[in-house]
Amino acid sequence: MTGPRFTDLIARLPETVPFVGPEGMERDRGARFSARLGANESVFGPSPFAIAAMQDEAADVWKYADATQHDLKGALSERLGCAPENLVMGGAGIDGLLGNLVRLLVAPGDAVVTSEGAYPTFNYHVVGFGGELHKVPYRDDREDAEALFAKAAEVDAKIVYLANPDNPMGSWHEGQGLERALAALPEGCILALDEAYIEFAPEGTALPVAFDDPRVIRFRTFSKAYGMAGARVGYAIGAPGLIRAFDRVRNHFEMNRPAQVGALAALDDDTWLEEVLRLVEEAKARIGEIAIENGLVPLPSATNFVAIDCGRDGDFARKVLSALLDEGIFVRMPGVAPLDRCIRISAGTPADLDALATALPRALMRAQEAG
C-alpha cells in the first residue's frame, strides 16, 4: 500500500505552523489562561451592531455567500476613496491574501525579501511555494525600508514584505519617509505593505501614494481595531491589474455570510471604533506603567500592543515569558535577536492588566533566580 505522493518541495518542508494558538497552549498546560494578552486580538470586541448583524444572518447561513463581496467592497471603496476594482477580499484574513499574492508571483527559486524577525506567516507562504527568502535586520527596532529595497535590487526580488506599523515591535514609519524610500524599489518588484494596525497609528503613518500605484499592494483587516479576528475578514488594496489576478487563484466562496454582514456593520459604526481606539490607548498606557514599575522599558507603539524591553538578552526574556505563562498570563515575544530581548503584551481589560501587574514581579523574580 502506498501513501500520498507529495511534491519534492512539500516532502522537504518541516511539519510546522507559524504560531501555536492559546487554545493549544491551554490544552498542553491543562488550565485556562486568566489573561489572554498574546495574540493582538481586540478584547473589547466588535461593534454591537456587527454582533447583531451576524446573529441575524445566522439563519441564512445555509446559503453560499456573495462570492464578489459586492456590498462590502462598495462600502470599503467609498470609505477609502478608491474604486471597488482596487479591492480584493479575503476570508482567511491578511494571512490568506498574502498566500495568494505569493502564489501569483513566486515560482520555485524566486527571490523574496523580508526583515529578520518580521511576521513569520509571510515566510511560511514563501517557503511553501518554493521561494528563496532573503532577510535584512531591523534598525533601531524598526524595519529598515532602505535596506529592504537595496536587498531587493541585489537579488532581483519579486516581493518585499514590510509592515507599517510593525509587528512584533510596534514601531512605525512616517508615510512620507516610506514614500521617499519607495523610489529605490527595483523595477518589477512589488511592495507587500502590511497595514493591519493602521487604525491605531498616528496621523501621517499611511503611505501617501495612490491606491492604484502598481508598485504597492496594501493589506488591511477587520481583525484588530474592528475586533473581528475570529471572522477572518481581510482585504488588499492595489492596482486593478494585480487585484483582478487574485480571481485566478482565490477561493471565491471563502468568506462566509455572517462575516460579510458583520464587517459591513462594523465599518458603519465609527462611534464604536473611536471607543476601541480610546480603550486601547488607555490599556497601552497601563502596560507601560506596569513595565516601568518593574524596572522594564516599554517601547513606543502605534499598534494595539506594547513591546517591553526586559533589559537583557533573549534567554532572559524567554524565562520571563515562560514564567508569565505559568502564572496564567498569555503573552508572546519576538523570535530573533536583538528583538527577542522583549516580550509583547496586547491591550487588555483592566482586569487583565491587574492580573499582569500581579504576575509580572513574580515572573521576573523566577527569571532572575534561573540565571
Rg (CA), the chain: 21
Distance CA 338, CA 248 (A): 40
Q: Are residues 262 and 283 in the same domain?
A: no
Domain containing 133 equals 59-269
- Unique residue bearing C-alpha cell 527595483: 186
Question: Contact at 8 Å (CB) between 236 and 87?
Answer: yes
Q: Are residues 181 and 328 in the same domain?
A: no
Q: Are residues 335 and 235 in the same domain?
A: no
Query: Which residue, of 235, 254, 269, is where some domain finishes?
Result: 269
> pLDDT of 307-344, one tens digit each?
999 999 999 999 999 999 999 999 999 999 999 999 99
> pLDDT of 19-56, one tens digit each?
888 999 999 999 999 999 999 999 999 999 999 999 99
Q: How many domains does the chain have?
A: 2
Q: What is the CATH number of the domain that holds 276?
A: 3.90.1150.10
Q: CB atoms < 10 A from the CB of 85, how many?
A: 15
Q: How far apart are the first and last CA of the chain?
A: 53
CA distances to 168, 174, 280, 293, 306 from 302, in Å: 11, 11, 10, 22, 9
Q: Is residue 199 part of a domain?
A: yes
Q: Are residues 124 and 22 in the same domain?
A: no
- What is residue 1's predicted lDDT score, i.e. its pLDDT? 62
Q: Are residues 101 and 228 in the same domain?
A: yes
Spell out, as residue ranges, where the chain has pLDDT lower than 50. none
Range list of β-strands (E), the chain? 35-36, 87-90, 111-115, 132-136, 159-163, 190-194, 216-221, 234-237, 297-298, 305-309, 329-330, 342-346
Q: Are residues 119 and 199 in the same domain?
A: yes
Distance CA 357, CA 297 (A): 15
Q: Are residues 37 and 180 in the same domain?
A: no
- What is residue 2's predicted lDDT score, i.e. its pLDDT? 80
- What is residue 126's predicted lDDT score, i.e. its pLDDT? 97
Q: Are residues 93 and 213 in the same domain?
A: yes
Query: Which residue, of 238, 269, 300, is where some domain finishes?
Result: 269
Q: What is the CATH number of the domain that holds 119?
A: 3.40.640.10
Question: Contact at 8 Å (CB) between 209 and 179?
Answer: yes
Q: Are residues 165 and 233 in the same domain?
A: yes
The grid coordinates of residue 260 equal 460579510
Distance CA 164, CA 196 (A): 8
Residue 156 Rama label (left phi>0; alpha psi -120 to 50; beta): left
Q: Are residues 171 and 237 in the same domain?
A: yes
Q: In the chain, what is the greatest distance between 2 CA atoms, to the nearest angstrom?
A: 63
Q: Is residue 52 part of a domain?
A: no
Q: Are residues 259 and 280 in the same domain?
A: no
Query: Which residue, of 213, 236, 269, is where some domain finishes?
Result: 269
